[in-house]
Amino acid sequence: MSARWRTGSPGQLLLAAALASFLFLFLILPVATVVYVAFTEKGTGAFTLVNFADFARTDLFVRSFWNSLYVSAMTVVIASAFALPLAYLTTRFEFRGAVLVQTLGFLPLVMPPFVGAVAMQLLFGRNGSLNLVLDDLFGFKIGIMEGLNGVILLQAIHYFPFILVNLSTSLRSIDRSMEEAGQNLGAHGLRLFRRIALPLAMPGYIAGASLVFVKVFDDLATPLLLNVKEMLAPQAYLRITSIGLADPMGYVISVVLIAVSVLTMWLAARSMKGRDYATAQRGGGGLAKRTLGPREAAIAYAIVILILLIVLAPHVGLLMLSFATVWSFSPLPDGYTLAHYTRVLGESSIYIKNTLLYATLAGLIDVVVGGIIAYLVLRTRVPGRQVLDWAATAALAVPGVVVGIGYLRTFYDVKLPDGSSLASAWIVIVLAVAIRRLPYALRSAYAALQQISIALEEAAENLGATKTRTVRRIVIPLMTGGLLAGFVTSFATASVELSAVLMLVQTNADAPLAYGLYVFMQTPAGRGAGAALGVIAVLIVAIGTWLSQRAVDRSQRAHGLDL
Amino acid sequence: MTPTERPAAPVDVRIEGVELAYGTTRVLKGIDLEIRPGEFFAFLGPSGCGKTTLLRLIAGFAEADRGSVRIGGTDVSGRPPWKRDVGLVFQSYALWPHLTVAANVAFGLEERRVPRPEIERRVQAALELVGLAHLAGRRPSQLSGGQQQRVAVARTIVVEPKVLLLDEPLSNLDAKMRVSVRRELHALQRRLGLTTIFVTHDQEEANSICDRIAVMEAGSIRQVGTPMELYERPANLFVAGFLGAANILDGTVASGAFTLAGGARIPLAAGAVPPPGAKLMFRPQHASLAADAPIAGTIVHREFLGATVRYALRVGESDVVVDVPFQSGGDLHDVGAHVGIALPPERALYLAD
């Protein structure tokens, strides 16, 4: 009996094939090229481990490797120190400050760590505001922004919300009776939290912490802006840009970066296996909250405000720097001016235009590709649909610097009709950024589609609508909120992507804002303008995030609660 | 006369040799059925019996491994859902939350490229038919459960399907609404004269509104008949137990009588031929209690229900329930009393599994 429309119509197969080629060309092939080069002999193409032996013999690389590991691990520790008290306070107590944490606590995500790097040095560096004041009053300085410390602090400030969100969600989903049983048996207070709630929330913590570890390990832009070169990602970048595409070390480092990312995610997944404790559905959900006494409240506020001050420092510093005339060897700027904004909005407005164009295109690519993959996986039986999902998700484990190197190597010899190389075309920047954001867009597409009951589509088919018509009239309208949220998330984060972009920008005319910021920040004279660009970037991301939140809220309201 | 109310010539549905397996699980094990034109037909059975799968197979959302489905003489096997012209009212109603009530109802007509003025006329008529014309501009989330259900019905019948399929349409309503909605559904079906198939696990629902019922169990049809036939002449123990209360006793057939495990002999009625492995089945109200009756039992429980008195008895290893009409002034048997159960031979049915 023929039922071909059930195993995938020609149209669906065509879509799947198109997406497969897209993912192959712009994700699998570049990454495979990087791996291939790392494992082969230059010229002959014979398999060799010589490159890895060279890596292991070079002190600089080994030092960089341990530095990267140390920075990632310490970032997780410091970020946990920020996130744990905030999660504990907001989930366990009726506490006004919770609102503060919820709104301000997520602000760091709006600004990538590299954007605030220079501002943080001006505030906390050797000759920054804090140390100048300390030196003046007590005659000593503290080195919180020295070398690796600076990277750790900046990364922790940026990434702690990942841990906070995952941990809070897990804590909130613990069934009240779990804790009540503990209380009934004599445990209370912090001890109860440590012995019952925290272990139950462990999967959430591990999910957040492993993500932070991987992100920090792969990050190129932040160490580069702090002038920390002895880490893996900067080394890869420097080898490729200073020695050239033919040097194998950049590829070897890339393989190490990928291996550590994959290993970390695998270990995290393995340690969480069978420990999915989500228990909320069974009883009265959420932990019991109690109100704080006046002294407790004072301590709680002190903790929250201290953490928020640290966390908001890069934003404040960046804002001050963007308005400062001269800010050097003094706690505060000498004077204030709008000149930096007029400069970046005038002569450097090309950066902003490029960013808006690239981020829009990248967001569109992500939403279309993510939406189609989600549909193929969840609603059709097209053969190989699961492979598309895996491939798109695998992009999570590919560091930006690897995408950059892979694109350069793979597309360098592809000539465009005008004789120039494909690797130098601006569209390649868009594709690199889009591929990096695809896993996130795919998740929001999945979430949006999963919310739609299949019966809603079957009802349309039952009333005479074909699959295509059903998608157009029912699926897409109902997914709009989720797709829009996915678009804006991709757009916002794409507009501040630097790691992959650093490699691929060939001329200033093609450069996006993040690249311009990097260039400006290289010279003391450019810092003000760089900061102004940073503020604009933060505004773009903030507005985008706010819009996406609104889009989701609105579509949920419009559809009522019976989705 | 609006198009929705024009009685179209009803069609029949024939299901022939349908088999379906998901992996190694056989969901439908050879289904043969004939549903007559204009009939209100029920698929009745416990959850997991395959009744919803069979309904989805008629609508085209599942495909049989073997066998065929004919609607009005046309084999629709292998046809996608949108070419079947079969109206399905979903258990969850499946109203589209982003469309108004009117737009929900108009959807099927738009897909059929019906001209706009006619769409408006027919949507209006369909909503009037279910008494919801005043809510045309609302969103589904603003309606009560009963109203949503009526919108779902209107959305389905407005396209004048050849067959109407109802998937547990009453299960999401509260007990009070259920009775009134099922009467409405029955009246609507009679008015439209539409061949209708109703899936339910509730025998009372099926009995109260359906012309005929197919009782299903574990992917097979155990019996097809009118509600009365199924109650009075169940073909097997499953049907007897599923429709109404049934007492079932083990025993053996020998020389014109059924001998219970405890030794009591019940003469077979004239012409009764018990199938191999048969057990005795009778309804609680068909037996009576008397001191000298052949089946000896002990009363373990007594419930006074007003019109009747219900006795629970222990007969050998089995439990038996007997309903006795209550007469004022009459004596009741006490718990612990040893009594006999009298059963007219024509009320004794001998059924196998």
pLDDT tens for each residue of A487-519:
888 888 888 888 888 888 888 888 888 888 888
pLDDT tens for each residue of B277-291:
889 999 999 998 888
The residue in chain B having the minimum alpha-carbon distance to the alpha carbon of residue A479 is B98
β-pair type (B163-167, B195-200): parallel
Q: Provide the mean pLDDT of chain B.
A: 89
Nearest-angstrom CA–CA distance, B36 and B11: 7
Domains of chain B: 3-241 (3.40.50.300), 248-351 (2.40.50.140)
Q: SS3 of B139, please?
A: coil
Tokens at residue A404, please? 């950059």
pLDDT at B5 (0 to 100): 47
Which chain B residues are closer than 8 Å to A458 by Cβ?
Answer: 59, 61, 81, 88, 90, 94
Are the Cβ atoms of B64 and A1 closer than 8 angstroms?
A: yes
| Helical axes A527-558 vs A294-323, angle rounded to 10° | 130
- Residue A489 has φ and ψ, to the nearest 5°, of -60, -45
A134: exposed, middle or buried (Cβ count in 10 Å: 0-12, 13-18, 19+): middle
Tokens at residue B11, please? 């069609």
pLDDT at A5 (0 to 100): 45
Are the Cβ atoms of A1 and B63 closer than 8 angstroms?
A: yes
Q: How far is B58 from chain A (nearest CA, A)?
A: 11
- CB count in 10 Å sphere of residue B259: 15
pLDDT at A283 (0 to 100): 44
Q: SS3 of A71, please?
A: helix
Are the Cβ atoms of A560 and B96 closer than 8 angstroms?
A: no
pLDDT at A2 (0 to 100): 38
Q: How far is B97 from chain A (nearest CA, A)?
A: 5
- The residue-averaged pLDDT of B106-123 equals 94
* Per-position DSSP letters for B220-283, written without gaps between them: EEEEEE-HHHHHHS-SSHHHHHHSS--EEE-EEEETTEEEETTS-EEEPPTT--PPTT-EEEE-
- Chain B residues contacting A, CB < 8 Å? 59-61, 63-66, 77-78, 80-88, 90-92, 94-98, 107-108, 111-112, 139-142, 155-156, 159
pLDDT at A7 (0 to 100): 63
- The residue-averaged pLDDT of A201-218 equals 88
Instruction: Please name the residue that has the structure tokens 């009363």.
Output: B299
CB-closest option in B59, B64, B140 to A462 = B59
Residues whose CB is less than 8 angstroms from the CB of residue A12 and which lie 6 or more positions away in sequence, other chains included = A376, A380, A382, A467
pLDDT above 50: residue B115: yes
- The residue-averaged pLDDT of A139-149 equals 81
Specify the pTM.
Answer: 0.79
Q: What strand order describes the sheet that includes B318-325?
A: B288-290, B338-342, B295-304, B308-315, B318-325
Interface mutation vs chain B, best among A7, A451, A462, most B CBs within 10 Å = A462
Tell me if chain B has a CB within 8 Å of the CB of A227.
no
CB-closest option in B81, B97, B107 to A559 = B97
Helix (H) or strand (E) holding B286: none
- Residue A334 has φ and ψ, to the nearest 5°, of -70, -40
Which chain B residues are closer than 8 Å to A460 by Cβ?
Answer: 96, 107, 111
pLDDT above 70: residue A559: no
Residues whose CB is less than 8 angstroms from the CB of residue B344 and which lie 6 or more positions away in sequence, other chains included = B286
Q: Provide the mean pLDDT of chain A.
A: 83
Are the Cβ atoms of B112 and A459 closer than 8 angstroms?
A: no
Question: How confident is residue B3, by pLDDT bands cut at 50, 70 and 90?
Answer: very low
Q: How far is B218 from chain A (nearest CA, A)?
A: 24
pLDDT tens for each residue of B206-234:
999 999 999 999 999 999 999 999 999 99
- The residue-averaged pLDDT of A456-463 equals 92
Nearest-angstrom CA–CA distance, B221 and B214: 6
B50: alpha, beta or left? (left if phi > 0; alpha if psi -120 to 50): left
The residue in chain A having the minimum alpha-carbon distance to the alpha carbon of residue B58 is A462
Are the Cβ atoms of B82 and A466 closer than 8 angstroms?
A: yes
pLDDT tens for each residue of B125-172:
999 988 999 999 999 988 988 899 999 999 999 999 999 999 998 888
pLDDT above 50: residue B296: yes
CB-closest option in B59, B111, B155 to A465 = B111
- The residue-averaged pLDDT of A312-316 equals 86
> Between A443 and A524, whose confidence is greater?
A443
Contact A344, A415 (CB under 8 A): no
- Under DSSP, the state recorded for B284 is G
CB-closest option in B64, B77, B96 to A456 = B96
Contact B221, B214 (CB under 8 A): yes
- Rg of the Cα trace of chain A? 25
Domains of chain A: 67-228+250-336 (1.10.3720.10)
